[in-house]
């Protein structure tokens, strides 16, 4: 990637932070975005399926963003943009219908290439049962060099990251906002540790604040990075299960922790088990599942 193309891509994504399938519309006949600043607004509107007013706004904002020294700006904040061209960009993300065009990263970007990744997710209101389950299941996974992926939300996500760190393992946090607006504030200390010693990533430019609709989009990256998904506690209708839906769409393995039949937070895992997810209560069960899958291949 040339420096000029890198600047143009960063400028476009800064003002139009959309997935690769959207940005590709501008690159089909212009792979290095050399023509974008010359395109007529009506042409941009037709290619992107947006209004003429939006196209005018995009072109104006893009022209202004081209003057921003992104390389220096991101270095100052210790942010590494990992585009779909980057050697550390996970190939598995390209299987998504809407892969992130750029991952903004803080920490050790080599962790993106870790071959064994398991996502651990669950309710933001997870009970102590989730922590007990995570304590029981994660040690064998970490011992076998499985990297733990989660979304840094309150509850089960934070438990998964913190436990992986305590066990001496590796973890990746996938967040739903830009680095200038860390979320949630309750996890600020944990987030700082992950940024400094492990890896935190987001598809949103640094200025992006956490918005409700960012998190379902974040969930597809958690799924796309991981070989399998472990669900601890979740209600039958929850954001946790949207991650599972993404995983099922791409043939990922689903593991669920059986729970108290009288708890609403067991409804999600029990529903998944009824639909074919593997019930687990020991990390060795997940490892054994992968041994069988490798043997079949």
Tell me the percentage of the chain whose pLDDT exceeds 70: 98
Q: What is residue 292's predicted lDDT score, i.e. its pLDDT?
A: 56
CB 37 within 8 A of CB 62: yes
Instruction: Please check the confidence at residue 294 and state whether its pLDDT lies above 80.
Output: no
pLDDT tens string 56-90:
999 999 999 999 999 999 999 999 999 999 999 99
Pairwise CA distance, residues 171 & 149, whole Å: 6
CA-wise closest residue to 214 among 203, 199, 200: 203
Q: What does the alpha-carbon distance between residue 40 and residue 48 come to, in Å, rounded to a whole number?
A: 12
| 207-225 mean pLDDT | 92
Distance CA 172, CA 161 (A): 8
pLDDT value at residue 240: 85
Q: Which two tokens stand for residue 161?
A: 């990251």
pLDDT per position as a tens digit, 161-179: 999 999 999 999 999 999 9
Q: Return the structure tokens found at 261.
A: 């039949």
Cβ-Cβ contacts under 8 Å for 97 (sequence gap 6 or more):
21
Q: Report whether 134 contacts 232 (CB < 8 A).
A: yes
CATH 3.40.50.450 for domain 109-296, yes or no, is yes
- Dist. CA 137–CA 232, nearest whole Å: 10
Q: Give the tens place of pLDDT for each residue, 177-199.
A: 999 999 999 999 999 999 999 99
CA distances for 43 relative to 22, 34, 38, 49, angstroms: 15, 15, 10, 10
Q: How confident is the model at residue 297 (pLDDT cuts 50, 70, 90)?
A: very low
pTM of the model: 0.94
3-state class (DSSP) for residue 156: helix
149 in Cβ contact with 114 (< 8 Å)? no
Residue 232 to residue 133: CA distance in whole angstroms: 7
| Least reliable range by pLDDT among 150-154, 180-184, 214-218, 231-235 | 214-218
DSSP string, 197-259: HSEEEESS-TTPPP-TTHHHHHHHHHHHH-SEEEE-S--SSSHHHHHHHHHHHTT-EEEE---
| Contact yes or no for 109/81 (Cβ under 8 A) | no
């Amino acid at each position: 990637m040339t420096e000029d193309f890198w600047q143009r891509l960063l400028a476009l994504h800064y003002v139009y932070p959309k997935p690769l399938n959207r940005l590709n519309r501008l690159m089909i006949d212009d792979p290095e975005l050399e023509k974008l600043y010359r395109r007529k607004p009506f042409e941009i509107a037709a290619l992107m399926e947006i209004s003429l007013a939006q196209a005018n706004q995009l072109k104006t904002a893009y022209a202004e963003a081209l003057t921003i020294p992104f390389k220096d700006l991101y270095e100052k904040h210790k942010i590494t943009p990992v585009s779909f061209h980057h050697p550390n960009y996970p190939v598995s993300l390209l299987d998504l219908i809407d892969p992130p065009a750029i991952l903004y990263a803080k920490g050790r970007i080599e962790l993106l290439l870790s071959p064994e990744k398991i996502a651990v997710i669950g309710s933001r209101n997870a009970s102590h049962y989730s922590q007990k389950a995570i304590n029981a299941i994660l040690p064998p996974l970490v011992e076998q060099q499985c990297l733990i992926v989660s979304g840094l939300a309150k509850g089960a996500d934070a438990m998964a990251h913190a436990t992986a760190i305590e066990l001496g393992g590796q973890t990746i946090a996938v967040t739903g906002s830009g680095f200038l607006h860390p979320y949630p504030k309750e996890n600020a200390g944990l987030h700082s540790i992950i940024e400094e010693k492990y890896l935190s990533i987001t598809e949103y430019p640094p200025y992006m604040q956490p918005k409700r609709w960012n998190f379902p989009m974040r969930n597809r990256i958690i799924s796309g990075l991981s070989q399998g998904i472990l669900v601890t506690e979740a209600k039958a209708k929850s954001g946790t299960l949207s991650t599972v839906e993404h995983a099922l769409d791409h043939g990922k393995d689903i593991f669920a922790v059986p729970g108290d039949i009288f708890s609403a937070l067991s409804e999600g895992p029990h529903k998944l088990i009824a639909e074919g997810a593997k019930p687990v209560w020991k990390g060795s069960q997940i490892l054994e599942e992968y041994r069988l899958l490798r043997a079949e291949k």
